Amino acid sequence: MRQEEPPRQETPVGVVHGLHRDEAGPDEEETASVVLVAGVLGRTRKVHMTLSGADHDWAVIAYHRKLPERLCQ
């Protein structure tokens, strides 16, 4: 996997291609590893990120409905 130097902050918009629930303890917030297919600098890319809270909830809904979703990174 390649990483851009220096890292940039962007808000990707795309389709949730993969969703994997991460293990959480009883007092921890639920998180998920997400693969988003989104346009990045004019090219379609698979963007990997970890989401929690409201972003996690929206990713689950988008994944089930196969909707494009705007996710924070």
The domain ranges of the chain are 13-21+30-70
Nearest 5°: the CA angle 25, 1, 13 is 75
Q: For the chain, how far is it from start to end, CA to CA, in angstroms?
A: 17
User: What's the CA gap between 18 and 60, in Å, rounded?
Assistant: 10
Interval 53-72: pLDDT, tens: 888 888 888 888 876 655 44
- pTM exceeding 0.75: no
Phi-psi region of 51 (alpha: psi -120 to 50; beta: other; left: phi over 0): beta
Interval 25-39: pLDDT, tens: 777 778 889 998 988
